Amino acid sequence: MKITLLGTGSPIPDPNRAGPSSLVSSDGSVLLIDAGRGVVTRLVGAGYFPPMLTGVLLTHLHSDHISDLNDIITSYWVMSQPDSETPLSIWGPPGTIKLVQHILEMLQEDIHYRITHHDDLNAAPRLNVVEVAPGDVFTVGTLSVKVGETDHRPVHPSVAFRISDGVHDVVMAGDGIPCDTLDELLVGADAYVQTVLREDIVKMVPVARLQDILDYHSTVEQAAQTAQRAGIKHLILTHYVPAPPPGGEAEWAAAAKEHFSGNLVVGPDLTSIDLNA
């Protein structure tokens, strides 16, 4: 199983970091988790064109995690061969079906242009959208996925996904603060991907709207403590707020290592870890 951080940024625009999105791949199955700003560019950077995706998982419907889902939908559609296109499957919390319907409405002119122009393009994007709830278990390609609840209130519902290939398990936690349901989902997992912020830096910025984010995101220290509590081997941090400058991740790693004794991953976009290595 390989985990790749496609975009390690956050809502704060950054010239070096795309918005939140990650990739989990194993045995030819490729799952995209969240679809933030620039996701298609980074997906190609990781070696995958959109039609190579086996499915898309959304942790919650905050704009930074879904802003380029429309690009995934369009590129998957126009880059698929007409005789081999399978519906793009998207799993997300309640509200995902409405979100995708609205994206298709936004794209309706483009969809019309392309169907009119290309003889071999005769139908709108084919999508299979499923809304999930905590406790749900489903299969995508060769991977099994279990849904767990996270605490990102007032954003509700928000979920985490535990993805297993039968050899390794990774929990893709999305945004949120430590909670019992996340702890339960993490028990026995090999790897844990958590979005984080640096509380010490954010607290120094006298902007009320930035201070607001402190109460619904894990700090680096909290993510490390959660991983340590669950006995996780590999903690992978992403969605850095505020993003460290290129090469500045060591300070983040040092803060986490005070609370976590396993393997720690903090890095630029396209950082990956192969659990089979």
Smallest gap from Cβ 174 to Zn ion, in A, equals 7
Burial call 187-199: b when 16+ CB within 10 Å, e when fewer:
eebbbbbbbbbbb
- Whether 64 sits among the annotated catalytic residues: the reply is yes
Nearer to Zn ion, 29 or 96 (CB): 96
Smallest gap from Cβ 157 to Zn ion, in A, equals 12
How many Cα atoms sit within 13 Å of 191 on the Cβ side? 25
Nearer to Zn ion, 64 or 249 (CB): 64
Smallest gap from Cβ 176 to Zn ion, in A, equals 8
Smallest gap from Cβ 111 to Zn ion, in A, equals 29
Nearer to Zn ion, 154 or 247 (CB): 154
d(CA 10, CA 260): 23
Nearer to Zn ion, 21 or 75 (CB): 21
Nearer to Zn ion, 68 or 175 (CB): 175
Smallest gap from Cβ 188 to Zn ion, in A, equals 26
Neighbouring CB atoms inside 10 A of 52's CB total 15
Residue from 14, 27, 34, 64 carrying the catalytic annotation: 64
Contact 159, 146 (CB under 8 A): no
Binding interface with Zn ion (CB under 5 A)? 62, 64, 175
Could you tell me which of 216, 228, 238 has the C-alpha nearest to residue 259? 228
The residues near 119 (Cβ < 8 Å, ≥ 6 apart) are none
Active-site residue set = 64
